[in-house]
């Protein structure tokens, strides 16, 4: 269960000065008004990967900050390669004040380069009050807190067509083995069980991470993520074997392994929620809902729903997350106003602005769940926040990009090869270890 919302009890004095009294209020979602315009005449430049609807909705948060403080804002979309774009802007003397960083590894790189300002005392106190410790851990490099996680992704959700499951007479499963059995029943009713986006290697890393976290447990997950545990460990071979049960079963995977390798992420969602459904279920994060709704007109909760990624071999059900952390650059022209923005982003009030707009989950445990516009998003958010410190950040996002984040190489390619031929999990584990050792050493 999600904890009840409580008012901020610490760090409020500075927030009142910069953001206005409502920053410390309790109760439900708060309007953006009431600020004292203390930053009038100043401006803040923010860079991040978002575009389209996500950028529009984040702009609503920035507009609320402007209304409260008087500071003008501008957003620059970087595309996927945040580190390269930001690095070039710093070198060119045009550094943004704030960057929304989508990967733990990139945040660490920025800190090691000496680019970041530590969070202010006000922001740190808000993080202590409003976030589980795990989010503080992922925002910290060498003992210093630099990153504030504003937007999160819940990557332990399996999305399904309620009609497909009802037609097959199956209920959302509670265990991995039950999920495979339910899938076979769905297949017997005329649809493939799962649409697998094997053309995008990152989806396969997410499959592996959920199986591994549940089966091996959080301590080994942390050790493997830091490469303190080798990928040749028996626990990795076991997880690959478990995942291989799904990949091997032609009855379960739409189009078989070859079809999966030719299906990208949007295509995998279309195969379940498009005009001509070919499968009953698709695994990926909460962002599946956005594709199903925006591209295929599905009503979330009625035409598309999810169940939590089920527990494996008696383990705990996994909660794997991703997220975007706000950081302040030292070289920004107005880093002080940038830090005031982070202090605002740390509040439930700021999270409520995007939550009401939709397409957003906040790791802020004091955000009123009523801020979310639909029951399914609310349930997804409560699942993420309710997991507390058992949440684990996407493992591949913690790895060097050469191993965990590059198309056609490293973990992405090796897991695609495993999907193509899952017959030898031990050999795949050895390949993963060789690639990881090279990347972490580099």
Reference 287, options 206, 353, 210; nearest CA is 206
With a cut of 50, list the residues of the chain below it in pLDDT: 1-34
What are 24-70's pLDDT values in tens digits? 333 333 333 346 788 999 999 999 999 888 999 999 999 999 999 99
What are 69-125's pLDDT values in tens digits? 999 999 999 987 788 899 999 999 999 999 999 889 889 989 999 999 999 999 999
Structure tokens at 384: 């993420």
> In sequence order, what DSSP letters do the residues of 390-432 get, joined into one string?
G-EE-HHHHS-HHHHS-TTSHHHHHHHHHHH-TT-HHHHHHHH
CATH topology of domain 12-154+321-392: D-Maltodextrin-Binding Protein; domain 2 (3.40.190)
> In sequence order, what DSSP letters do the residues of 95-106 get, joined into one string?
--SEEEE--HHH
Check: CB of residue 308 under 8 Å from CB of residue 317: yes
* Alpha-helical segments (H) within 8-95: 12-19, 52-69, 82-91
Domain span(s) for CATH 3.40.190.10 in the chain: 12-154+321-392, 157-318+406-441
What are 247-267's pLDDT values in tens digits? 999 889 999 999 999 999 999
Q: Which helix (H) or strand (E) holds 329?
A: strand 320-329
* Per-residue pLDDT, 35: 64
* Per-residue pLDDT, 26: 36
Place of tokens 């949007």: 266
Question: Does the pTM of the predicted model rise above 0.75?
Answer: yes
**CATH number for the domain whose boundaries are 157-318+406-441:** 3.40.190.10
* Per-residue pLDDT, 220: 98
* Per-residue pLDDT, 238: 98
In this structure, what is the dihedral angle of CA atoms 301, 305, 311, 312, given to the nearest 10 degrees?
Answer: 180
């Amino acid at each position: 269960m999600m904890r009840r919302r409580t008012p901020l009890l610490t760090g409020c004095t500075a927030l009142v000065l910069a953001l206005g009294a409502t920053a410390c209020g309790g109760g439900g979602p708060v309007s953006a008004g009431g600020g004292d315009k203390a930053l009038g005449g100043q401006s803040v430049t923010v860079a991040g990967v978002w575009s389209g609807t996500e950028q529009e909705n984040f702009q609503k948060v920035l507009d609320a900050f402007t209304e409260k403080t008087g500071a003008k804002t501008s957003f620059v979309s970087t595309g996927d390669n945040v580190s390269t774009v930001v690095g070039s802007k710093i070198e060119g003397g045009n550094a943004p004040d704030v960057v929304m960083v989508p990967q733990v590894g990139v945040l660490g790189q920025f800190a090691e380069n000496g680019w970041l300002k530590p969070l202010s005392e006000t922001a740190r106190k808000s993080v202590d009050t409003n976030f589980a410790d795990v989010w503080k851990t992922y925002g910290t490099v060498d003992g210093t807190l630099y990153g504030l996680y504003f937007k999160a992704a819940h990557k332990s959700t399996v999305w399904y067509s309620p009609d497909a499951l009802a037609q097959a007479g199956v209920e959302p499963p509670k265990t991995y083995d039950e999920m495979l059995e339910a899938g076979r029943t769905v297949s017997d009713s005329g649809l493939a069980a799962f649409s697998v986006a094997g053309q995008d290697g990152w989806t396969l890393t997410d499959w592996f991470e959920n199986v591994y976290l549940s089966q091996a447990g959080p301590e080994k997950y942390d050790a493997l993520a830091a490469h303190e545990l080798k990928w040749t460990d028996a626990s990795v071979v076991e997880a690959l074997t478990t995942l291989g049960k799904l990949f091997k079963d032609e009855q379960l995977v739409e189009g078989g392994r070859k079809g999966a390798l030719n299906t990208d992420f949007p295509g995998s969602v279309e195969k379940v929620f498009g005009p001509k459904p070919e499968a009953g279920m698709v695994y990926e994060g909460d962002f599946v809902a956005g594709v199903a709704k925006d591209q295929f007109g599905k009503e979330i909760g009625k035409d598309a729903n999810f169940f939590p990624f089920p527990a494996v071999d008696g383990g705990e059900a996994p909660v794997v997350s991703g997220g975007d952390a706000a950081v302040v650059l030292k070289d920004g022209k107005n880093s002080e106003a940038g830090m005031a923005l982070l202090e605002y982003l740390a509040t439930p009030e700021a999270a409520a602005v995007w939550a009401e707009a939709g397409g957003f989950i906040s790791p802020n445990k004091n955000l009123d769940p009523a801020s979310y516009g639909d029951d399914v998003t609310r349930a997804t958010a409560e699942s993420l926040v309710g997991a507390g410190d058992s949440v684990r950040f996407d493992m591949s996002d913690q790895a060097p990009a050469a191993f965990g984040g590059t198309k056609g190489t490293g973990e992405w390619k090796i897991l695609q090869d495993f999907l193509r031929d899952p017959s030898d999990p031990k050999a795949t584990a050895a390949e993963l270890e060789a690639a990881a050792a090279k990347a972490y050493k580099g």
